[in-house]
């Protein structure tokens, strides 16, 4: 088995004294599209510059088709690695055809013009990117989308086994983004071109790349399938944002929704406690926090959706490890939160031996006079996993609490 088209081994690079790449290992196989993700300044562009021989690494090796890239002339390297830059704005007026022909320059000898081979490749590249009809048009008269396709054709004309894309879709509208990426996909499939693409948009990267490599402060922090790289933990660590990562049901690819922290309302000076679980409490936690309540939650099981949301909203919470029963200490802590609250909301979460203690606490709290609301969109019978104990407590709760049949109704009751 021969070596992959592009192999980087322990590559480091600096700008001046500032290290921008730290011992990066990376491989791109034939026909594979690898996406490079990471925030601004994480070293993505530097990595492409190093891997295309426009910047010398300070350490490590870069091999293209088994050959050491740093020992090659620029002329030879340009036959092996083609780069699609963000945009090209020529200083002088060139036609689209002239621009694409320049992609053949790595193949020309000092005195030679374009041979039949060059013309064939240029025609092929212009056909693939659908810019033949623009051939005689000056590039500075083209639209942004047309010009990007001409630049892509220029890179394709280089006929290199490795193609790098430096944020090729910035400032393009959705239609053009998809067109451009499908051309690249076809190239990878048909020609076996190894593609390394910098993407700013994580969703785009996750949905169009075979594999992702995440860079943070010049080092690789995650590498693998899109699902294994795009996680909320990575987003928090690398981008410093809170986001929900779900799986797109149509493609099976991860999909990122960045949580925009909403402006909190003026504090009401009222305490509310929520008994949740299995994500039933999440909308209520958010709603109450946004309405200005001082919200607490518990007892929750760690890594439950409600626990995640409570953590993200930075709420006071009591939690126990996953799949374990509520211990005495947690129960006592939660009892205090509940009894001190002005409002208690009990959600229609599933109740089993692990969390039925929450219901007992809620009943005691409601009986002590704390205003209590029950959410009952799902009947208790469908979520009682305690052989009747939960249903028993629930019916006693109904006698001392207000019942809401849906989230909307709950909102009305709260107002």
Partner 1 sequence: MRRAVPYRRVILGLVAGLMAAFLLGVAVGAVWIPPIETIRLIAWKLGLTARPEDVSRATEVIVFQLRLPRVLLAAIVGGALAASGAVFQGLFRNPLADPAIIGVSSGAALGAVLVIVTVGAGSLGAFAVPLAAFVGAIATAFVVYRLARIGPAVQVATLLLAGIAIAAVISSFMSLVMSFSGEEIRDIYAWLLGGLVAQGWRSVEIVSPVVILGVAGAWLVAHELNLISLGEERAAQLGVELDRLKRTSIAVGALLAAAAVSVAGVIGFVGLMTPHLLRLVIGSDHRRLVPASVLGGAILLILADLIARTVVAPSELPVGVVTALIGGPFFIYLLRREGRKAGARV
Sole binder of partner 1 in the list 103, 168, 218, 276 (CB under 8 A): 103
Q: In whole angstroms, how close is the CB of 305 to partner 1 at the nearest point?
A: 46
String of contacts with partner 1 for each residue 152-181, x by CB under 8 A: ------x-----------------------
Q: Which of 151, 156, 165 is nearest to 99 (CA)?
A: 151
Phi, psi dihedral angles at 390 (to 5 degrees): -60, -45
Q: Name which of 88 and 241 has its Cβ closer to partner 1.
A: 88
String of contacts with partner 1 for each residue 10-49, x by CB under 8 A: ---------------------------------------x
88: contact with partner 1 by CB under 8 A: yes
Q: In whole angstroms, how close is the CB of 202 to partner 1 at the nearest point?
A: 26
Please, what sign has the CA dihedral across residues 330, 301, 280, 297? positive
Rounded-to-integer distance, Cα 317 and Cα 320, Å: 10
**DSSP code, position 388:** T
String of contacts with partner 1 for each residue 122-151, x by CB under 8 A: --------------x-x--x----------
Q: In whole angstroms, how close is the CB of 129 to partner 1 at the nearest point?
A: 17
Cβ pair 5, 30 in contact under 8 A = yes
Report residue 302 as tokens. 């760690």
Sole binder of partner 1 in the list 12, 105, 132, 305 (CB under 8 A): 105
Sole binder of partner 1 in the list 85, 279, 292, 352 (CB under 8 A): 85
Number of residues that bind partner 1 (CB under 8 A): 34
74: contact with partner 1 by CB under 8 A: yes
Q: In whole angstroms, how close is the CB of 61 to partner 1 at the nearest point?
A: 20
Return the residues of window 366-405 that contact partner 1 according to CB under 8 A.
none
Sole binder of partner 1 in the list 2, 92, 174, 267 (CB under 8 A): 92
- Three-state SS for 97-136 is HHHHHHCCHHHCCCCCCCCHHHHHHHHHHHHHCCCHHHCC
Q: Name which of 78 and 131 has its Cβ closer to partner 1.
A: 78
CB atoms within 10 A of CB 267: 9
Query: How many CA atoms, within 13 angstroms, populate the side-chain half-sphere of residue 290?
Result: 11
* Strand order, beta sheet including 219-224: 81-84, 162-166, 194-198, 33-37, 211-216, 219-224
Contacts of residue 75, Cβ cutoff 8 Å, sequence gap at least 6: 106
Q: In whole angstroms, how close is the CB of 205 to partner 1 at the nearest point?
A: 22
User: Measured in whole angstroms, how far is the alpha carbon of residue 245 from the centre of its chain?
Assistant: 7
Cis peptide before 299 (omega within 30 of 0): yes
Cβ pair 188, 33 in contact under 8 A = yes
Rounded-to-integer distance, Cα 56 and Cα 45, Å: 13
SS3 214: strand
259: contact with partner 1 by CB under 8 A: no
Q: In whole angstroms, how close is the CB of 83 to partner 1 at the nearest point?
A: 4
Q: In whole angstroms, how close is the CB of 58 to partner 1 at the nearest point?
A: 13
Of 104-112, 168-176, 193-201, 405-413, the segment contacting partner 1 by CB under 8 A is: 104-112
What does the binding site for partner 1 look like in residue numbers (CB under 8 A)? 49, 52-54, 73-79, 82-83, 85, 88-95, 98-99, 102-103, 105-106, 108, 110, 136, 138, 141, 158
């Amino acid at each position: 088995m021969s070596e992959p088209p592009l192999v980087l081994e322990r590559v480091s690079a600096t700008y001046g004294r500032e290290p921008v790449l730290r011992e990066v290992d990376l491989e791109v196989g034939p026909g594979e599209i690898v996406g490079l993700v990471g925030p601004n300044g994480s070293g993505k562009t530097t990595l492409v510059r190093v891997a295309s021989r426009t910047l010398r690494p300070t350490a490590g090796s870069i091999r293209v088709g088994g050959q050491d890239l740093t020992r090659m002339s620029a002329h030879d390297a340009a036959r092996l690695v083609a780069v699609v830059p963000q945009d090209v704005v020529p200083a002088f007026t060139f036609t689209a055809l002239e621009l694409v022909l320049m992609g053949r320059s790595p193949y020309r000898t000092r005195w030679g013009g374009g041979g039949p081979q060059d013309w064939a490749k240029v025609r092929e590249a212009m056909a693939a990117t659908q810019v033949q009809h623009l051939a005689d048009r000056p590039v500075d008269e083209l639209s942004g989308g047309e010009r990007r396709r001409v630049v892509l054709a220029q890179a394709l004309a280089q006929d290199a086994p490795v193609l790098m894309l430096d944020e090729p879709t910035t400032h393009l509208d959705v239609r053009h983004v998809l067109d451009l990426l499908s051309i690249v996909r076809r190239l990878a499939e048909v020609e076996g071109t190894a593609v390394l693409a910098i993407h700013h948009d994580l969703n785009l990267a996750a949905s169009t790349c075979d594999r992702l490599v995440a860079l943070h402060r010049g080092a690789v922090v995650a590498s693998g399938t899109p699902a294994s790289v795009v996680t909320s933990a990575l987003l928090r660590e690398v981008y410093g944002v809170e986001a929900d990562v779900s799986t797109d049901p149509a493609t099976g690819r991860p999909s990122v929704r960045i949580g925009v922290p909403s402006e909190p309302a003026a504090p009401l000076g009222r305490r509310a406690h929520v008994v949740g679980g299995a994500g039933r409490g999440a909308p209520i936690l958010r709603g109450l926090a946004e309405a200005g309540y001082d919200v607490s939650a518990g007892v929750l099981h760690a890594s439950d959706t409600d626990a995640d949301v409570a953590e993200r909203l930075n709420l006071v919470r009591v939690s126990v490890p996953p799949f374990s029963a509520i211990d005495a200490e947690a129960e006592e802590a939660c009892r205090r939160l509940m009894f001190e609250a002005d409002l208690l909301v009990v959600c229609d979460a599933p109740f089993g031996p692990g969390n039925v203690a929450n219901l007992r606490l809620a009943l005691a709290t409601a009986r002590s006079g704390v205003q209590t609301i029950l959410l009952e969109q799902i009947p208790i019978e469908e979520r009682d996993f305690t052989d009747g104990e939960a249903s028993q407590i629930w019916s006693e709760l109904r006698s001392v609490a207000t019942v809401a049949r849906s989230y909307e109704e709950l909102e009305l009751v709260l107002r």
